[in-house]
Structure 1
Amino acid sequence: MEFSIKSGHPEKQRTACVVVGVYEPRRLSDVAQKIDEISQGHLSFILRRGDLEGKIGQTLLLHNVPGTLADRVLLVGCGRERELGETQYRKVIATAIRTLHETGSMEAVCYLTELNVRSRDTTWRIRQAVETAHASLYEFNELKSKNTKEDMRRPLRKIVFSVASRRELSLAESACREAEKIAEGVKLAKDLGNLPSNICTPAYLVQQAQKLCENHENKLSCQVLEQADMENEGMNALLAVAKGSEQPPHLIILEYNKEGKKNEAPFVLVGKGVTFDSGGISIKPSKDMDQMKFDMCGAASVLGTLLAVVELELPLYVVGIIPTVENLPSGNATKPGDIVTSLSGQTIEILNTDAEGRLILCDALTYAENEYKPEVMIDIATLTGACVVALGKHAHGLMSNHHPLTNDLLNASKFSGDRAWELPLWDDYQEQLDTHFADVANIGGREGSAITAACFLSRFIKKCHWAHLDIAGTAWLTAKKEKGATGRPVPLLTQYLIDRSKMSSNNVATEAPVVSEEE
C-alpha cells in the first residue's frame, strides 16, 4: 500500500475515487460542499432523496459526478459533527478504506483527514488515518492453500490523504512516515501472534529476532542465552516453566543504537514469550485453549516496537529482552508446591503452574537490571485473566513504581489511540503473596489478582523506574470478523519512545500533548 499527502481542490483530482464526509442529518462537510457547488447541487439533491443519512458506517458511491475529474465520489457518514471524536474518526476512516477496497478503487484521494476532530490537529489525523488504513486492510492468509488476495481483481493500492493548506504538507508528510513505520511494527507483531504454536516455537522467535538484526545490520544486534547459559546464570524460575516441554527455552537480547548512545542508560522492553501455554500441571480447560498461542504477544510487541524504532532511526539506546518458553505438562514438569530460587536469590513457591508468565519475567527483569542499569524498564505480558475481567478488550492494565513514567505512558497511549488504564500498585496487596515455605508465592488469590501479579514482579525490581503492561485483554480479539492478534501495544510503546527522543533533543514542545480521556 502506497500513501502520500497533498493539498488541492477535490473537483480537480484525476483519480479513481474522491472520498468526502457527510454529517448527520444529511449535512455535507466543507469539502463535500465544494463538490456540491461545482456539480450544481448534485450531492444535495441525492441527500434530499434520503439515500444517505450520514450515520457512521454508512457509505454511498456515486459515479460521474458533474464538474469533477474523478471517476467516482464516495460519500462517507461521519455522524454528528459535534460528536466527532477520536474513536468515531477511526471508524469513519476504516469504513472508507474497506469500501474502497471492496468496490474496486485501486487509488483514491481521501479528504476525510480534513474533518474537524475534537482537540486534534492535522498531524494526529494523518497519523491515525494511515495506521487505521493499514489495520483495515490487514489479512493473515499465509497458511491458507488458496490466497484470497489472488481472487481480488482490483485491490486498493494507493491512497492520497489531503490537508487543507500547503503549509501543513511538511508536518503531514512526517506524520505519514511515522505512521507507516509504526504500522510495519504492528504487522510484524500481528503476523507472529497469528502463527500457530507448532510453527512459532521459542526457536522460531529466536530466528525472527536474528532475521530482524540481519535486515538492519549495524543498527541492531542480537544475543541469545541458551538453556545451559541460563542454568549457569541461575535463572531457575524461568527454567522451571520450560521443564515440561521438549522445546528448549531461550532468552533473546536485542540492542539498538548501543554504539551511538553507549554512555547512556537504555530503555529496556521485556516481553513475555510463552509460545503456547497449556497451564502446565495446573492445566487449563480445553475450551479456547487454542488461543494460548497468543501468550507470546508481549514478545511479538517488543520485536514490532524495535522494528519501528529502527526504521524511524530514533536517537535512543533501546534494549529488547524476550524470555521464551513453552508451558506444557509432562513427567518432568514443575508441580504445584515446588520451590525454586530465582536469579535474584529470592525463593518462589509455585502454587499454580499456570501463573507462569511472572516466573519467566522475574528472571528476565533481574537480568535486565543487573546487566543494563536501565533508565526505564517496561515489561509487556498477556499476564492475567483478571485484567480482562477488569478492563475488557479496550485498555491495557498499567502499573508502575514511578508516577512520571505512568503519566508519560498514559499520555502516549492517549495520543496513539492505544489506550492504557492505571491500576494501583499499593503495598497493601503484597501480603497476599506471603507463604510459609518460601520468600514469595507466585499467586495471591482471586482478589485483585491482576494487581498481585504486578506486585510479584515489583519484588524483582531494585532501583530502576519500571512499568508493567498487562495486555491479556488487548493482545488479540476473538470475534469472528476480527479474530486474531491486534499488534498492541506497539503504537503505545513506539509513541512513548518517540516522545522520549524528542525530549532528549530538547524539543519538548513537540511531545504528544496531554489531553483528557475521551468522554
Structure 2
Amino acid sequence: MLFKIPAKSSSRYIVAIADNVQQIQSLSLLSESEMLYFEKCFKEGTRYVTIARPGAAICVIIVTGKQPEEKAEQLRKSGAKAAAALSAESAGSVCVINRSSFAQAAYAVAEGMSLSAYQFLKYKTDAKKKAYALKTIEFDKNSITVKEMQQLSVVVDAVSIARDLVNEPLNSLGAKELSGRIAALGKQAGFRTRTLGKSDIVKEKMGGILAVNRGSIDPPAFSIMEYKPARFLNRQPIVLVGKGVVYDTGGLSLKPTPNSMDRMKSDMSGAAVVASVMYAIAKLKLPLQVIALVPATDNRPGENAYVPGDVIRMYSGTTVEVLNTDAEGRLLLADALHWAKRYKPELVIDFATLTGAAAAITGAEGMIFMGTASDQVKSAVAESGRRQYERMVELPLWNEYGDMIVSDIADLKNVGGPTGGAITAGKFLEHFTDYPWLHFDIAGVSFAQSKKGYHTAGGTGFGVRVLLDFLLHYGK
C-alpha cells in the first residue's frame, strides 16, 4: 500500500472520521439528503456508514470507546469495513480525513484498511482479476504527520512480510529457502545476516536442531540477524528468537490431518515475526542494537527420525529424554537460547507456535507469555499489547512445573504431564537461559481459518505490531 499526503487530494473516495454529527457537517462532504440519511443512522446507533455515489463513495466513521486502545481498535475494524466497501467500488485510492479529537484516528483507520486489504495471490492463476484495486491511501495534511505515515508504511509492510512467509507452502519455503528469504530481507532493509548450514550446526553440536532434522532429507539452517546502528540506547543487545519449524508433521508422534497438520506450514510463525520485525527495525532506524536468531528445519517421520525414548544431548550439554516427537519446537528454541548467551544480552524474547495448550487458554483472542524479565519489562510489553490490541495473558513459572519435566534417565524430558502444557514447555526453555527472558506462545493466533476484521485468513502476522511497539518505546 502506498501512503501519501498530497497538497490536495483528487480522490473521489473519502473516509471521514469525527466525534459527532456536527464535525461531519462542517466538512461539507455530504449533500442535504445524504446528511439526513447519516443522521438517521447515527440516531439508530450506527457509527459507520458508507454512502455510495456514481464513481465515488464516502465512508463516515464516528469514534467510539473510552480508552485510547478501544478507540484505536474500533477504528481499525471500521477501516477494514471501509476497505471492503471501497474494494466493491473498485476504488484505486482513498483520502482519509480526521476531524475527531483522537489524534491517532487516521493512522488507525489506514492501518485497518491496509491490513485488511492484504492478499496472498502468488499461486492464483487469475491473480490480476482477484487483486483489489485499492493501492493508495492519501491523508488530509491535518490528519497525520509525515513521521507517523512513514512508520505506518513500515509496520504494514512488516506484517505483510510475516504473512507472506507463513502462507508459503513447504515445497516453496523449506529451511534453506527461509534462510535465503531472511538474507534478502537483510539486504533490503539494512541489517547483517549470517546463515549456519548443516555442517556448521553439526560442528557446534546443536543436538536439539539435529535431532528434529533427522527425519528430513532437507538440511536445517540457523539464521543470525544483526542490526547495530552507530548510536544505540541499550548497553547490551536485545536478542529475538523465532521458532522456524517450516513444517511439522509431529514426527513419529504423528499429528492428525484435519484442523492440525493441514495448516502446519504455519509452525514457523515465530520465525516470521522476528524476521519481519528486524526488517522494520532497520527500516525505521531504531536506536537499538538487536540480534535475531532463527533455527529452522521441518519435522518429519523419515527413515532415521528421532523416536520417543531417545536421549539427545543439547547444544548446552543438557541431556533430554524425548517422549513426544511433536514437542519439537522447544528443542530448536533451546539450542538458540543457549547460543544467545554469547551476547550477554540485556533481554531475550522468543516467539513460537509452541503448544496447543496455549491456544486452549486464549483461543484466537490473544497469546500467552511468561519469563524471567523484570516486572517493568513485563508491564511495558503488556502495555504495548493493549495499544496494538494484540493482547496477552501471563502464566507463572513456578518451580513445581520444573519438577514435571525432570527425567528418570536424563536431565530433562521434553514434555510434562497432562496439565499445564504451555507452562512446562516454558519451564523447559527457561532451563537454557541465564538472562532476562520472555517467551510468547502464539499457537492460537498465528494462523486464521477465515477473515475477521483486519485479520485476513491464513498467516495473521500476530506479534509483529506488539513487538515493534515495545521496541519503539524501549528505554522511554
- Hey, what does 1:384 align to over in structure 2? 355
Q: Check 1:35–1:404 CA distance in 2 against 1; reply closer, same or farther (3 A cut).
A: closer
2:74 paired residue number: 88
Output one character per residue of 1:302-345: Cα deviation in whole Å (capped at 9) or x when no partner: 11001111110111111110000110002201010111111112
Structure-2 residue corresponding to 1:55? 46
Aligned to 1:487: 461
> Cα distance 1:16–1:319, how it changes in 2: closer, same or farther (>3 A)?
same
Query: Gaps spanning 5+ residues in structure 2: where?
Result: none
Task: State the match for 1:66 in structure 2.
Answer: none
- Name the residue aligned to 1:232: 203
Residue 182 of structure 2, aligned match among 209, 231, 238: 209
Are 1:42 and 2:33 matched, yes or no? yes
2:346 aligned with 1:375? yes
CA RMSD of aligned residues (A): 2.7
User: What secondary structure is seen at the aligned counterpart in 1 of 2:404?
Assistant: helix
Matched to 2:284, the amino acid is L
1:268 and 2:239 correspond: yes
Q: CA deviation at 1:385?
A: 0.5
Contact 2:229–2:287, Cα closer than 8 Å, also in 1: no
What amino acid is aligned across from residue 108 of structure 1 in structure 2?
A: V
What is the CA–CA distance in structure 2 between the aligned matches of 1:72 and 1:479, rounded to whole Å? 29
Specify the SS of the correspondent of 1:473: coil
Find out whether 1:257 has 2:228 as its counterpart.
Answer: yes
Q: Distance in 2 between matches of 1:429 and 1:85?
A: 39
Corresponding residue of 1:177: 150
Task: Give the 3-state SS of the residue equivalent to 1:184 in structure 2.
Answer: helix
Indicate the residue corresponding to 1:513 in structure 2: none
User: What is the match of residue 88 of structure 2?
Assistant: 102
CA contact (8 A) 1:314 1:498 kept: yes
Deviations 1:186-212 (A, max 9, x none): 111110100001111001011112212
Structure 1 position 414, deviation (Å): 1.7
Aligned-residue offset at 1:474? 1.0
1:252–1:321 contact (8 Å) kept in structure 2:
yes
8 Å CA contact 2:47, 2:63 repeated in 1: yes
Bigger Rg, which one: 1
Query: Superposed, which structure 2 residues align to 1:272-351 within 5 Å?
Result: 272-288=243-259, 289-351=261-323
* Amino acid in the other structure paired with 2:380: D
**1:433 is paired with a residue of what secondary structure?**
coil
Checking the alignment, whether the CA contact within 8 Å between 1:6 and 1:160 is kept in structure 2 is yes
Contact 2:166 2:268 in 1 (8 A): yes
For residue 160 of structure 1, the aligned residue among 126, 131, 138 is 138
Partner of 2:167: 194
**Equivalent residues of 2:234, 2:346 under 8 A apart:** no
**Structure 1 residue 4 displacement after superposition:** 2.9
- Say if 1:358 and 1:151 are closer, same or farther in 2 by CA, change over 3 A: closer
Asked if the contact 2:209/2:331 (under 8 Å) is kept, the reply is: yes
Counterparts of 2:85 and 2:233 in 1: how far apart (Å)? Answer: 49
Q: Shift in Å at residue 453 of structure 1?
A: 0.6
Specify the alignment match of 1:29 in structure 2.
21
Return the offset for 1:400: 1.4
Shift of 1:110: 2.0
In structure 2, relative to structure 1, the CA distance for the partners of 1:410 and 1:44 (3 Å cut) is same
Greater displacement, 486-495 / 77-86: 77-86
Equivalent residue for 2:121? 141
Quick one: which amino acid aligns to residue 135 of structure 1? L
Structure 1 residues 49, 367: closer, same or farther in 2, change over 3 A?
closer
Amino acid at match of 1:185: A
Which segment is superposed worse, 47-56 or 410-419?
A: 47-56
Moved more, 77-86 or 411-420: 77-86
Residues 21 and 29, structure 1, Cα contact 8 Å, conserved in 2: no
The CA distance in 2 between the partners of 1:132 and 1:322, in whole Å, is 29
Match of 1:475 in 2: 446
The Cα of 1:298 is off from its aligned counterpart by: 0.6
Per-residue deviation, 1:300? 0.8
1:49–1:185 distance in 2 versus 1, CA, 3 Å: closer
TM-score (ref. length: structure 1)? 0.84
Identify if the C-alpha distance between structure 1 residues 39 and 77 changes in structure 2 by more than 3 Å, giving closer, same or farther. Answer: closer
Letter in 1 for 2:329: G
Distance in 2 (alpha carbons) for counterparts of 1:34 and 1:449: 57
**3-state SS, counterpart of residue 416 of structure 2:** coil
**SS of structure 1 residue aligned to 2:471:** helix
Query: Structure 1 residues 210, 49: closer, same or farther in 2, change over 3 A?
Result: closer
Gaps of 5+ in 1: 64-70, 509-519
Structure 1 CA distance for aligned equivalents of residues 181 and 30 of structure 2: 54
Q: Structure 1 residue 272: deviation in Å?
A: 0.2
The CA distance in 1 between the partners of 2:31 and 2:302, in whole Å, is 76
Q: In 2, Cα distance between the equivalents of 1:262 and 1:408?
A: 16
Shift of 1:224: 1.4
SS at match of 1:85: helix
Q: Greater CA deviation, 402-411 or 451-460? A: 402-411
- Superposed displacement of residue 366, structure 1: 0.1
Tell me how far apart the structure 2 counterparts of residues 457 and 425 of structure 1 sit (CA, whole Å).
Answer: 11
Indicate conservation of the 8 Å contact 2:243/2:353, yes or no: yes
Residue 180 (structure 1) shift: 0.8
**Aligned counterpart for 2:213 among listed residues 232, 239, 242:** 242
Aligned counterpart in structure 2 of residue 411 of structure 1, from 372, 383, 389: 383
How far apart are the structure 2 equivalents of 1:176 and 1:373? 35
Aligned to 2:191: 220
C-alpha separation in 2, matches of 1:48 and 1:416: 31
CA distance in 1, matches of 2:152, 2:41: 37
The higher relative CO (CA closer than 8 Å, separation ≥ 6) is in 2
Q: Which string of whole-angstrom CA distances, capped at 9 and with x for unpartnered residues, describes residues 435-478 of structure 1?
A: 2111111111221111111011001111x110001010111101
Q: Report whether the alignment pairs 1:127 with 2:127.
A: no
Query: Residues of 1 paired with 2:43 and 2:87: CA distance?
Result: 20
TM-score by length of 2: 0.91
The equivalent residue for 2:415 is 443
Change beyond 3 A, Cα 1:82–1:433: closer
Q: 1:44 to 1:357 in 2, by over 3 A?
A: same
- In the alignment, which of 13, 18, 21 is matched to residue 17 of structure 1? 13
- Report if the CA contact (8 A) 2:75-2:112 is conserved: no
What does the per-residue CA deviation read over 1:371-408, in whole Å, with 9 as the maximum and x for residues that have no partner? 21111100110000011110111211111112222112
- The answer (yes or no) to whether the contact 2:244–2:295 under 8 Å persists in 1 is yes
